[in-house]
């Protein structure tokens, strides 16, 4: 099996029974904030795009690059489609000209022509990607590969049960706006960033240990930031709180925990994976490439500047009445929302900075009051500050997912009272009736689900499944004193009270093993 690195989470898998192109991403994403790193725009995409199958793991714009798919990927390719709750991905791909779809039944092995086997695991909670993320397992001629991508299944046993895996490709770096955009003192930001960076690596080691593949390929990040306004997010400034470590840092950190089987794929690297080993060739020596990272980024920044400027010029739509449009689009959704609105539990304020860089219009999305209105000097749960032009653009194009556009762009700052609130972001990625209904239904189901099984962990009896996204705490739970940390996403719980210390709601059921009376059962929302 041949795996060609094509940048970020993208790869081309070649076997004698057919080829699969995964997640080709070249054009900048999220308001021209993210670019693939290392640069992959100079690859021979005309050739790479002539494939038998296309797999797009999910709709995040650093995985689903509509312009590139349209221009470069053969429309004769059969799309291997994850079983997502909405038809958005299929609809978008059909609109680009794809006509052949294989709807892979979730978590079932499918045999394609010539003995090529695949299995797709789709994750479908409202917090998984833009309503859905997925991983692809491939087997041909005894060689097995898992492209886990940036998906976060609770564990990898499903794949491990299919036989020993030879190549495991997974995310290790950051892909979020936290903590950089928060209006915090620099020392606090650095401390939070460092915690996050450590947690990302811990999670990666756990997945690697779960699967015990012969070879581990760090993929799906980091992106690079080429706009001058975002340049500081590149991990080139010696900031230990930077959440975007690159593949060379991965190798160094992996070595510290005893990892010796890591393989970095640059764009154009080719790995031949067999049951007995892997040999890899690179377009330039990997160490040399990373030694020259700053020069690579600076050269790329100059080359891409016109693209960024052209994108920026398209954002302003002064004809859009932002308050009126937000009211029109968001208020009906607030009316429909029970769980998300209750979960947010307070007003969320948007401070929109005008074209002059100074004037500010403050708009509140009032979740308890179910209305969008001017800010009225009140306390708010979250405050976001961004350019008015960005919101104008989102309203102009009818964007239904502000996470997959505004928030991932990192072109905003934020402040909040209290803990992280996942419902805020879940709501702003569900700005369509279809998405909102799905998310509401999902929370409803999980609210009702009785998770009765308990386990004993370091002297505590605790519910087996994490209140966040159901990770098995017998594998992911770490107890330190009275605190339990679920290592899948790093959420913390105070066990005596059951309180979640990371996010609103999500109480855990726990009591000391030697105590008679258990604490009251947890509630999903409080």
What residues make contact with ligand FES under the rule CB under 6 A?
Answer: 466, 468-469, 471, 486, 488-489, 491
Residue 489: CB minimum distance to ligand FES, A: 3
Which of 388, 489 has the CB closer to ligand FES? 489
Which of 12, 489 has the CB closer to ligand FES? 489
Give the separation between CA 441 and CA 123, rounded to whole angstroms: 15
The alpha helices in 184-283, defined as continuous H runs, are: 186-211, 247-256
First vs last C-alpha separation in the chain: 50
Which of 393, 468 has the CB closer to ligand FES? 468
CA angle 457-463-468, nearest 5°? 110
Residue 382: CB minimum distance to ligand FES, A: 21
Which of 152, 388 has the CB closer to ligand FES? 152
Contact criterion met (CB below 8 Å) for 399 and 317: no
Which of 15, 503 has the CB closer to ligand FES? 503
Which of 301, 489 has the CB closer to ligand FES? 489
Residue 122: CB minimum distance to ligand FES, A: 17
Give me the phi and psi of 356, to 5 degrees please.
Answer: -80, -5
Residue 67: CB minimum distance to ligand FES, A: 34
Nearest to 506 by CA among 477, 467, 461: 467
Residue 465: CB minimum distance to ligand FES, A: 8
Residue 423: CB minimum distance to ligand FES, A: 15
Which of 81, 471 has the CB closer to ligand FES? 471
Which of 155, 272 has the CB closer to ligand FES? 155
Residue 180: CB minimum distance to ligand FES, A: 21
Which of 445, 514 has the CB closer to ligand FES? 445
β pairing state of 11-15 and 18-22:
antiparallel
CA angle 444-445-448, nearest 5°? 85
β pairing state of 460-463 and 454-457:
antiparallel
The DSSP annotation for 436-462 comes to HHHHHHHHHHHHH-----EEEETTEEE
Residue with tokens 């401070």: 351
Q: What letters, b where the CB count within 10 A reaches 16 and e where it falls short, cover 179-188? A: bbbeebeeee
For 172-214, where are the E strands, in sequence order? none
Cβ count near 128 (within 10 Å): 19
Q: Which residues contact 164 (CB under 8 A, 6 or more apart)?
A: 144, 212, 213, 214
Which of 33, 503 has the CB closer to ligand FES? 503
What's the token pair of residue 68?
């590139």
Q: Which residues pair with 155 in a beta bridge?
A: none
Residue with tokens 């209904």: 437
Burial class (CB in 10 A: 0-12, 13-18, 19+), 486: buried
Contact criterion met (CB below 8 Å) for 156 and 164: no
Which of 3, 488 has the CB closer to ligand FES? 488
Sign, CA dihedral 402-492-200-145, equals negative
């Amino acid at each position: 099996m041949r795996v060609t690195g094509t940048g970020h989470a993208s790869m081309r898998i070649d076997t004698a029974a057919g080829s699969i192109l995964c997640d080709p991403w070249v054009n900048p994403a999220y308001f021209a904030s993210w670019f693939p790193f290392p640069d992959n725009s100079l690859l021979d995409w005309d050739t790479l795009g002539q494939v038998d199958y296309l797999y797009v793991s999910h709709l995040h714009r650093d995985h689903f690059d509509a312009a590139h798919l349209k221009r470069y990927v053969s429309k004769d390719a059969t799309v291997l489609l994850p079983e997502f709750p909405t038809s958005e991905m299929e609809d978008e791909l059909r609109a680009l000209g794809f006509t052949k779809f294989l709807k892979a039944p979730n978590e079932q092995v499918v045999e394609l022509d010539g003995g090529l086997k695949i299995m797709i695991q789709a994750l479908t909670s409202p917090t998984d990607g833009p309503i859905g993320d997925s991983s692809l397992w491939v087997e041909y001629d005894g060689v097995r590969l898992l492209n886990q991508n940036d998906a976060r299944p609770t564990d990898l046993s499903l794949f491990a049960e299919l036989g020993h895996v030879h190549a495991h490709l997974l995310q290790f770096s950051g892909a979020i706006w936290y903590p950089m955009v928060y209006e915090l003192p620099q020392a606090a930001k650095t401390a939070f960033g460092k915690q996050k960076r450590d947690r990302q690596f811990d999670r990666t080691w756990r997945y690697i240990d779960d699967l015990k593949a012969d070879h581990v390929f760090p993929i799906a990040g980091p992106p690079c930031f080429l706009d001058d306004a975002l340049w500081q997010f590149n991990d080139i400034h010696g900031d230990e709180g930077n959440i975007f470590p690159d593949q060379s840092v991965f190798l160094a950190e992996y070595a510290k925990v005893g990892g010796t089987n890591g393989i970095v794929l640059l764009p154009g690297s080719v790995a031949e994976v067999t049951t007995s080993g892997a040999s890899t060739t690179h377009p330039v020596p990997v160490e040399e490439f990373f030694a020259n990272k700053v020069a690579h980024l600076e050269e790329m920044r100059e080359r891409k500047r016109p693209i960024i400027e052209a994108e920026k010029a398209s954002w302003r739509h002064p004809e859009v009445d932002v308050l009126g449009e937000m009211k029109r689009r968001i208020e009906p959704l607030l009316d429909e929302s029970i769980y998300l609105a209750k979960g947010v539990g307070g007003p969320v304020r948007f401070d929109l900075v005008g074209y002059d860089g100074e004037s500010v219009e403050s708009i509140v999305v009032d979740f308890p009051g179910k209305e969008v209105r001017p800010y009225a000097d009140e306390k708010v749960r979250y405050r976001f500050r961004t350019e008015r032009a960005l919101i104008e653009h989102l309203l102009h194009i009818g964007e239904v997912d502000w996470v997959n556009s505004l928030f991932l762009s990192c072109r905003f700052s934020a402040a909040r009272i209290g803990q992280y609130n996942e419902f805020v972001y879940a709501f702003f990625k569900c700005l369509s009736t279809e998405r909102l209904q799905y998310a509401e239904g999902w929370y409803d189901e999980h609210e009702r689900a009785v998770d009765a099984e308990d386990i004993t962990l370091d002297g505590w009896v605790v519910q087996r499944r994490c209140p966040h996204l159901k990770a098995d705490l017998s594998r992911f739970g770490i107890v330190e004193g009275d605190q339990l940390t679920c290592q899948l996403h790093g959420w913390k719980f105070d066990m005596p009270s059951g309180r979640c210390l990371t996010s609103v709601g999500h109480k855990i059921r726990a009591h000391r093993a030697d105590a008679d009376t258990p604490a009251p059962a947890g509630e999903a929302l409080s």
